[in-house]
Amino acid sequence: MKKFTNLLLSCLVGTMAFASIASAKEAKSHADVPNLRMAWNNELHTGNMHLNFIKPELFANNAIHMKPISKTHLELYKNGELIAVLEHVFTRGGSESAQLMTQGHLDIAFGSSTAFLAAYDNNVDLKILAPVQSGGVSIVAKADAPYNTFEELVEYAKNSKMPVLGGYHSAVSSPRVVLEYALKDAGLKVTEDASNYDADVLLTDLKGLKNLIPSMAAGQVEIWAGPVPHPQNAESQGVGKIIATLDQLPGGKWIDFPCCSMNVRGDVMEKYPEIVEAVLQVATDVSNFAQNNREEAAELLSEFIGLSKEVLIKNDTTYSTEVTDKFVNGMETYYNVMKDMGKFNGRLTKESFDEVLKNAFDFTYSNKITTNS
C-alpha cells in the first residue's frame, strides 16, 4: 500500500511538473513573439474588427486568423504558428489614435484617414496601408429643425441672425472635414470662434462619438456630421434627422467617399512586416464578411456597439481593403481640401500629392492580398 501511495504521489508530482513546464512554455511563447497595440472604435467604420473577439470561429479556418485570449488581447496565427499577441485599445476616434501613435503608445490603428494625414503633416513616422470602408457618413440636424435637406440648411444659415451651431466628434476626422468643406463650398462662413457673430456656422469639438446624440438632445448643437450608425440612431431616438448622406451633397464630390483606413507606425512596419501584412489580411477577411453578410454582422456587433440590429442594419457603408483609383483620388481630394482649409502647417504645406502618396502611403501588402485573392 505504501509503495502504491508513493507511486501515485510520484505520478501526481510528474503530472504537475509537466503541466508547469507546459504552462511556462506557453507563457514563453507569448514572451517570444512581438506584443503590439492596436486600436479601433465601436462604430460601423472600424468596429468590424471586433468580430475577432465576438465570433472568432468565423475566420478560424483561414491560414491567417486571430484568437481571443482575453477581453482585450488576441493571438495572431499564420499557418498554425503564433506570430504576435495584439492588445486592443479602445479610442474615441482617429485623432486620438493618431496622437497615441505619435506618443509611441499605439502600433496599428483603424481610423479616419484624414487624422493620419494630419499626423503625417506633423512629422509622425507612419504609413497608411489601405482603406477599410467608404461611405457611411451623414449630416444630421435636430429633429425639429426648419430644414430637411443640405440645400435648405444653407439657405437657413445664410438668413439666420445667429450662427447655426454645429459639431464634430474628432478634430481632423473625415466627417468633420466633409462637413466644414461642404458648408464653405456652399458659400457659408464657418468658424470655431464663439465671438464671431458674422459667421453662418459655429463649429465645436464634441470630443468623441458618444457625445454626438447627447449634445444634440441637450441643444448644444443643431447639426453634426458623423459615421454610421450614429445618424441612424439619432433618427431612431427621435433626436435628429438625416438631411444629407455623402451621395446627396452638392456636386457629387463625396459619393461613396473613402473615410477610414488601416494605419501603422513606420518603425513597426519596418521591424515586423510579416505581422503588419497578416493584420491587413485579417482586416480584409473581416471586411469581406461584413460586406457580404450585413444582417449577421449587424446582429453580432449589436452588443459591442450598444445598438439594436434594426438600427445597425440601416448601414450604407461599403467595406473593402482594396486600393482602387477611387480610393487614391479620394485621398487626393482630402489632401487638396484640407490644404485649402488650412489644416496643414507642417511638411504637407510643401509636399505635392505625388510626394505624399510616395511617403505617407504604402500599398504593397494591399496589392499583394488583392492579387492573391
How does residue 25 score in pLDDT terms, banded at 50, 70 and 90?
Answer: very low
Residues in CB range of 324: below 8 A, 6 or more apart: none
Q: Can you give the residue ranges of every domain in the chain?
A: 35-136+257-372, 137-248
Provide the pLDDT for residue 108.
99
How does residue 94 score in pLDDT terms, banded at 50, 70 and 90?
Answer: confident
Residue with cell 442594419: 313
Provide the pLDDT for residue 341.
87
Q: How far apart are CA 203 and CA 315, in angstroms?
A: 26
Please state the CATH superfamily assignment of the domain spanning residues 35-136+257-372 in this structure.
Periplasmic binding protein-like II (3.40.190.10)
Residues in CB range of 110: below 8 A, 6 or more apart: 38, 39, 40, 41, 45, 46, 49, 97, 132, 260, 261, 262, 263, 283
Q: Where are the beta strands (DSSP E) in 159-249?
A: 164-168, 190-191, 201-205, 223-227, 240-245
How confident is the model over 15-34, as a mean pLDDT?
Answer: 58
Residue type (1 letter), 255: I
Provide the pLDDT for residue 200.
98
Please state the CATH superfamily assignment of the domain spanning residues 137-248 in this structure.
Periplasmic binding protein-like II (3.40.190.10)
What is the phi/psi pair of residue 350, to 5°? -115, -30
Q: Is the pLDDT of residue 170 over 90?
A: no
241-266, pLDDT tens digit by residue? 999 999 999 988 898 899 999 999 99
Would you call the peptide bond into 229 cis, given omega within 30 degrees of 0 as the criterion? yes
Q: How far apart are CA 330 and CA 148, in angstroms?
A: 27
Provide the pLDDT for residue 272.
98
Q: How far apart are CA 137 and CA 122, in angstroms?
A: 26
CA-closest candidate to residue 116, choices 171, 51, 192, 58: 171
Q: How far apart are CA 206 and CA 111, in angstroms?
A: 17
Q: How far apart are CA 105 and CA 114, in angstroms?
A: 20
Confirm if 170 and 115 have CB atoms less than 8 A apart.
Answer: yes
Lowest mean pLDDT among 8-17, 57-66, 77-86, 165-174: 8-17
320-336, pLDDT tens digit by residue? 999 999 999 999 999 99
Q: Is the pLDDT of residue 360 over 60?
A: yes
Please indicate whether the domains covering 35-136+257-372 and 137-248 agree at the CATH topology level. yes
Q: How far apart are CA 282 and CA 290, in angstroms?
A: 12
Confirm if 47 and 88 have CB atoms less than 8 A apart.
Answer: no
Q: Supply the pTM of this predicted model.
A: 0.86
CA-closest candidate to residue 178, choices 314, 337, 367: 337
182-224, pLDDT tens digit by residue? 999 999 999 999 999 899 999 999 998 999 999 999 999 999 9
